[in-house]
Structure 1
């Protein structure tokens, strides 16, 4: 499917089906459920930390990104950390070049491909796009994984800690997360 066809299909479906979002990754259309309240609270928590640590940056929730130049993919991370104003003048699907970190928080959905999407497809797509850091907040396993050092194919480094332990987001982000609070927002 061409990106233009995907964009049109997304507009049509958004008017007819409530509660889903679409992405185009690895040439496949993927649907996602709309996040729950705890999911939103985690993004709020991370936004506050980013603002306090790096006030020149902003964590853009749900900003559509053009990923995977080869396949012309479209992804909508739960958060995209970039300089404030980085997406001004861009449409629904912005250029991923200014993104320092993509963030995904796993959702509680019955969708069997969500595991594959957040843990395999998204890290690969973000690494291929050379987004420097990918942060996965995994509510199923109660772990935080930080992927870094994209080589254009995959991330060469991945570090995982359980909720409750601190973890440093490497440069160019340079923020340390104390993850104890995440324990409050899991089932």
Structure 2
């Protein structure tokens, strides 16, 4: 018989939300898997990529909005709080929500990798696990380190993560599957990496 170690959280969700609301604007805090994390400050290329994606999504699907840095309650078992770089949802979906919204209705979350030592753990492992468990249909990872875009689909709410992942190199056309159903020419992303 296998005995699983009990997960110990650094603080309660309420304590985290109080701490996050008091943090200065120069710091973005998240609470994933019971740990408080500081999300790296974005750079100009990072912001340009999010802006590029917003334009492409709005042109193809004017019924949707791309929300920058909308806080989400994810990973129900561990009561995590994440602030993706962007969340694609129906127009005005998050109107009336506070700082942390339920993930229901979010069609896709987007992360653009920063240049830091925690990218592998955070963006390639913890985030897809939390977003998949929350039932968000798509997780788009724009990975500036590897020069790829990965679309995670078919969320697994029971164990977390996604059943499918499709990797596309910068410069190729990427098709975002349903429920988005749009194509993206990723050539421009080559200009926004170090």
Q: Is the 8 A contact 1:146 1:159 kept in 2?
A: yes
- Find out whether 1:115 has 2:120 as its counterpart: yes
Where does residue 148 of structure 2 map in the other structure? 143
1:92 paired residue number: 99
Secondary structure of the residue that 1:161 maps to in structure 2?
strand
Q: Could you tell me how far 1:30 is from its partner in structure 2?
A: 1.1
1:79 deviation in Å?
Answer: 0.4
* TM-score calculated relative to the size of structure 2: 0.91
Which ranges of structure 1 fall in alignment gaps of 5 or more residues?
none
Q: With structure 1 as the length reference, what TM-score do the two structures score?
A: 0.94
- Give the match for residue 28 of structure 1: 35
- Alpha carbons 1:19, 1:33 under 8 Å: kept: no
Q: Which runs of 4+ in 1 moved over 6 A?
A: none
What CA distance in whole angstroms lies between the structure 1 residues aligned with 2:152 and 2:45? Answer: 23
Once residues 42 and 161 of structure 2 are traced to their aligned partners in structure 1, the CA distance between those partners, rounded to angstroms, is 27
Task: Give the 5 Å matches for 1:100-111.
Answer: 100-109=107-116
- Paired with 1:101 and 1:11, the residues of 2 have a C-alpha distance of 25
Aligned 8 A contact 1:144 1:163 in 2? yes
Matching residue of 2:16: 6
Q: Quick check: which has more Rg, 1 or 2? A: 2
> Given the alignment, which residue of 157, 170, 193 partners 1:163?
170
Give RMSD over aligned pairs: 1.0
Task: For 2:32 and 2:87, locate their aligned partners in 1 and report how far apart those are by CA, in whole Å.
Answer: 17
- Equivalent residues, number: 182
5+ long unaligned stretches in structure 2: 1-10
2:139 paired residue among 123, 131, 134? 134
